[in-house]
Amino acid sequence: MESFHDVRFPLGISFGATGGPERRNEIVQLTSGQEKRNARMRRSRRYYDAGTGVRSLEDLYAVMAFFEARRGSLHAFRFRDPFDMKSCPPHMEPTPFDQPIGTGDGQEKRFALAKTYGEGADGYQRRITRPVADSMLVAVAGVPRVISQDYWIDAGTGELVFYDTAVPPDGAAVTAGFVFDVPVRFDAERISASVTAFQAGQIPSIPLVEVL
């Protein structure tokens, strides 16, 4: 990803944000009255508004400083999605067996992280590119592996990389659990702030968009 700053948007503000995934489909009504539906985008894209998370002058200043440091929409950055940040349901803790990410062949060392929504043929696999490295839990053929001893995380791609001495054998299922961030950028060239009361600040809208 070009022009990515590996820093996280202020956590306290992100947990007050609103937003979620967007799908773009084309729906055409035929003369028979039936519909024909086509997906215009293969992957969903997430949009957020962090303005609802600003509650104080300190929050306001933190957003302003962060916006300036990213040069507005020029540089992407990490954002913690308050609704979807784990390889497991939000009320649970990640385990090494949460998500299947591949099958070993005795040679492949790199495995892309993913999170699957739904089951079977209808399941949607979402690529995860910004995992939190120290949250990673990995298992091969049901046996947990150790980070820094058996594998490492490529910060540039978010891929799981096994060392030569720990390459998954042929047919071995590779699974992982993790906490992750979403790569986003500001979806505006201007931030408008106001002081609403003593020691209180407000930014009506801080639009963010996922960078695919």
Candidates 148, 183, 192, 191; CA nearest to 166 is 148
Looking at the DSSP bridge assignments, the partners of residue 61 are none
pLDDT of residue 23 exceeding 70: yes
Q: How confident is the model at residue 149 (pLDDT cuts 50, 70, 90)?
A: very high
pLDDT of residue 102 exceeding 90: yes
Per-residue exposure over 61-88, b if at least 16 CB sit within 10 Å of its own CB, e if not: ebbeebbeebeeeebbbbbbbbebbbbb
pLDDT > 70 in the chain, percent = 95
pLDDT of residue 125 exceeding 60: yes
pLDDT > 90 in the chain, percent = 74
Would you state the pLDDT for residue 151?
97
Would you state the pLDDT for residue 56?
85
Looking at the DSSP bridge assignments, the partners of residue 182 are 79
Candidates 156, 164, 101, 116; CA nearest to 133 is 156
- pLDDT tens digits, 43-96: 899 999 998 888 888 888 999 999 999 999 999 999 999 999 999 999 999 999
Which residue ranges make up each domain of the chain? 1-83+182-212, 86-180
